[in-house]
Structure 1
Amino acid sequence: MDLRAEKRQHIDTLIQLSEGKENGTGSFRDVIRRSWERCMGEYRLDPSRPRAARVVTHQTLREHQETVDELLHVARVGVDRLYAQIAQLGYVLLLTDNRGIAVEFRGERQQDLALRKAGLYLGADWDERYAGTCAVGTCLHDAQAITCHQSEHFDATHISLTCTAAPITDPQGQVIAVLDISALRSPRFLESQNFVLPLVNLYARMIEDAYFMHRYRDCLILRYDTAREFVHLNGKGLIAIEENGSIIAANSNGRLMIDAHLRRWPAWSPGWSPSITELFDVEISEVLGILSTSDDHLRAVRARAGDITYFATLIEPRRRRIVGQSLPTSPTPVPALDVLATDDPSMHKVLKLARRLCNEEVNVLITGETGTGKEVLARALHESGSRAKGPFIAVNCAAIPESLIESELFGYLPGAFTGGRRKGMRGLIQQADGGTLFLDEIGDMPLPLQTRLLRVIAEREVMPLGAERAIPVDLRVITATHRDMSRLVADGHLREDLYYRINGAHLRLPPLRERADRHYIIRSVFDALVAERQQRGRLRADAMSALLAYTWPGNIRQLKNALAFALATVEGDDITVYDLPEECLGDKPPPPVTLIQAPAESPADDSQVLLDLLRHARWNISQVARRLGVSRPTVYRRMRRHGLIPPNQLR
């Protein structure tokens, strides 16, 4: 049968399936049939109208590559090594992002035209919603490795291809990329691809682990395997930890171990995760001493779940971090911009541009949701540039009453208006002379004042109220807003000429929920609060997990408030998930536990329930009070009633 006849037969098979007739589809695997049904039912793809492969524009490709630049930096060695193994067999290699766009490609130049036509090319779009059933798109949907062989493809354009793909996940288990190897031609039978699936899986895991090591290069990492000989070479498990044993993150093997532990000893909070000493039967001092207590830097450790013995080593950070200190020490001062992020791709792009703008006189517009740190970035720009010794004057245009904003900004001379200061007042614009004027929420400035501000920016001079002559000012203007500036201009709420004056350069801050360095931000904010309050405090792993899982509609400002609340209300030094505000526990917080409300003849039952709760919470009264939905004094009162005394108070 020629290819044209095969395409007609393939289309007829899919049309029959869409009409409820399954003639000829019974031999196809369930994973393929489910994808076909999605293509026709959910995506409304028409099998009778094959679609040519789509390759995005060069600019769009660059944007997709920039979102995964950290991964690409790490993955290229693995990509090159895998391609060296498959090139002679006629395969090409694609690495796509989590939207199915090929951001990396390896193939023979002689086949460029045929590969591009088939979509096996840089910038090709293999999203299942567009391309139909295919290895990349179906792998992204199901988050598991798959081979899509010839007529298993939905679109008849692709039925001559064979493709095998495996997902690459980040340390939180989210798919961030797909590794795929494909061929224009291959043997008819699916079994001919049996060797390909484990090979792609192997390299996907290697890239995953290399990315994990890169992401947590400044942390302690426990690496383990069941075979002592393989730990140093390619240990399967990777767990990043704090020096107190709290788990920061784990690779796919490590997450499986944590899941096994949680299934055996389920916790109340869905965000809870164990410390390394709860995962393995070992003391934290023994973990930290691995490198100094054995010649081969290995230690046998037994997993508490499954009772399996592993061999572990410890990988120390490149820059050793002190517990409770968010930033690595350095012999030279760290620029103010460098502390705002670690390895988040979006922030990396923002800060790269910000460093170039530090000593430029270009006006900067900073946008982002409320609470994302627009003023913090503005201050960092000021402190990192040539104006650092000058003043930084911050003005919230939305907070000053409209009747006062003109006099506050521009100042006034004595007698300029009734009720003013007898000696007049220098306005905030004048106060910023020689430094930076930061206008927050510029979109809320009244229109009449926008005209006067435009003159200040254009002429670098200010006219106080009641003055007859303008006063020169030397300043740089940075503005910020959480609103859509183009919409404000279109609706007539912002002067178009002012918009172009303030938008010399645009820096967009991503929301906290989209940032890959959320762990770093949480630690930095927490450590700053601890230092500010001169208070001891530690974030336990369950609290950190809940903070990482929360969506933070109020962004970093809300995070700071939540951590301040926890520090203000916690009993002791350890902050657990139950010391956080209720909103941080997710949409479905654990239901409150009600003590047995029984008559006097069964006080023992009430006492036992309370004792179990206290023991499980390690005698954290705040945590138990939250679980019961009562106040802490009520818990203390019930403890006294039943004679329950914390272990640290026993003599």
Structure 2
Amino acid sequence: MVDAFHAPASPSHGWIQPSALAVTPPQAGRSELIQQWHERCAALGLSRVERPDFDPLRRSDLVVARERNQRLFTHAAPVMEMLLEQIVDTDSMIVLADTTGTILHSVGDDRFLQRANKVALTPGVSWAEHSKGTNAIGTTLVEETPTVVHGGEHFIHANNFLTCSAAPIFDPRGEMLGVLDVTGDQRSYHQHTMGLVRMSARMIENQWLSDDYGNRLRLHFHGRAEFIGTLLEGIIVVGVDGKILGANRSALDQLDMSIAALRMQSLPSLFGITASAVFDHFRTPLPTPMMLHAANGQQFHVSARFNGPQRAVVLDMPVTSVEARMPTPAHDAAAAAARPPCPSAQAPFSGLRYLDTGDAQIAATLQKVRRVINRDIPLLVLGETGTGKELLARAVHQDSNRARQPFVAVNCASIPESLIEAELFGYEDGAFTGARRKGAVGRIVQANGGTLFLDEIGDMPLPLQARLLRVLQERNVTPLGSLKSIPVDIAVIGATHRNLREMIDAGTFREDLYYRLNGLVVRLPALRERSDLDVVARRILLAECPQDTPGIEASVLALFKAYAWPGNLRQLANVLRTAAVMAAGESHICEHHLSDDFLEDVRRVRSPAAPAAAAFAPAPSPAPDFAATQAACAPAAPEPMPQPVQDAPEPSPAAAPSAPRTLEEAEIDMIRSALAAADGNISVASKRLGISRNTIYRKLRWNKAD
């Protein structure tokens, strides 16, 4: 988030030296605007030579004002501290005022704060226009728009040494909450300051919106896909009936509508789509942004968020079969009868069976996982980034007896080390500097009765691993700053792309925690190791283009199978999304629809790989052939899997097609191939295959018996 604040930096302190700042000349019409403001102040009976008003609110009244605006302060205080880092040593201060113009809180350079006190720019003092004349805080309250008042533009002469840049803060319904202001010495004014203030105000507004509507569907959109997830994205909140409940200012700017006008709209009238259609799109596997058109013809990339307890079943659970998206009435009735009660009737397609896409490794993994559901056995999911570890965790939760309770996901790698303890365990009021009033409930307690998913558990700091181990053993949580323990009932699923055993040897991961987490360990294969790439690709396209789903040319599928996919399913989804846009209106995705950088990567891999791929090309077979997929990507794969050449004659163009093989036969061939490559070492082969030694013994014994 700090990047959003970056201004041109000087070598000394990351900001612009005051001596290098040039005062921006008045804009055309600016003088007339200032004149109007000054006439308004004169009509209020103010004089330009008035002395500063040093009569602030009584301490008790200021306490009441702060209590009344506690939520505003809670959201604004951390943003003000972040903003302060950007304007440090620039003779400036940051001010938060309520809707009456009363200053609630201020931070800044000590030297400038002393100068500001001389004109009563201090907490408890009103800077509304009727009290202080034209100034950024008071004028912003009147105009309800970001305002800069520079030097002599202030109505009262005593304030002429200041330059103030202020922006209003609105709630999602368009009600003003207060004003955020940066005030500094007018000689140090820079035009970038206003941009920083406006972005900071929008950060506060977006946090407020998330708090107000955390359990509602929120659409995040922008005309350019890369701006989704930034402060420039628009956000609208949608009710269960499709009505628009609220929005942030970026949404109003992009749609060119007032909040009152927008709240009279619904999803069908605004974007020509229903809420159920949005849900259908975003509960597909690896959902990508939708392309929607507003009534005025504008085109937007749209993503969706839903943070409530039903998020897993509404948006994040995958639909991994074409048939599941178009079920028959009989199928619906049977599925409903077989499913445990679910809090959301909107998402009948979820659970482990919808992850089964025909790949033998995935099927074996799902079979193992089904056996431990509801047996209080921890699950540890291993696999590279992007292989779908969280999708598996959510499917396990949805198939368990805990499906009606929360699924809480914590990414141990994305939370700053200084905050992860408070995030996990919660804290009491005053437990540390910056702690929220009345404290906060930790993620473990939030998951009580449900499932706690610890993603990237290998990145958890070592000191916290001991606390987590105690929680898992005792099923009690003690928040920071508290002496009371809170009992919790949780199912725990961990996930990591790291080698935890190597970390144990290196002393960076606790062995006792490892054995507490690994009741059942499963490994999700990388995309390059799966035999269902073509199926997954077509289903991603179905999710991206549900109306006119393009096919995929055989040559493109060949490229896909020859590629190592370092980003796995996530990368495949991005490549297909771009290709679908380029192929709009055409029946098939061809090679020229793929992005240039992807094609360059594929060619770079295929160039040395072509002879090897030709040598190992298997005979045509309608059955899924894991070995063939491995051969195509072997040169780029971390652990290439040799082909079962010892069991079949060298293929030739004239060779007759082999008889169809079952998945079991393909699996046995794969195991034999891995053993041959490992010179008969079962331990090495099991690691390469991601299965246990016992599985190899069992498979080969059964095959021999047959």
Quickly name the TM-score band, shorter chain normalised. Answer: 0.3 to 0.5
TM-score by length of 1: 0.41
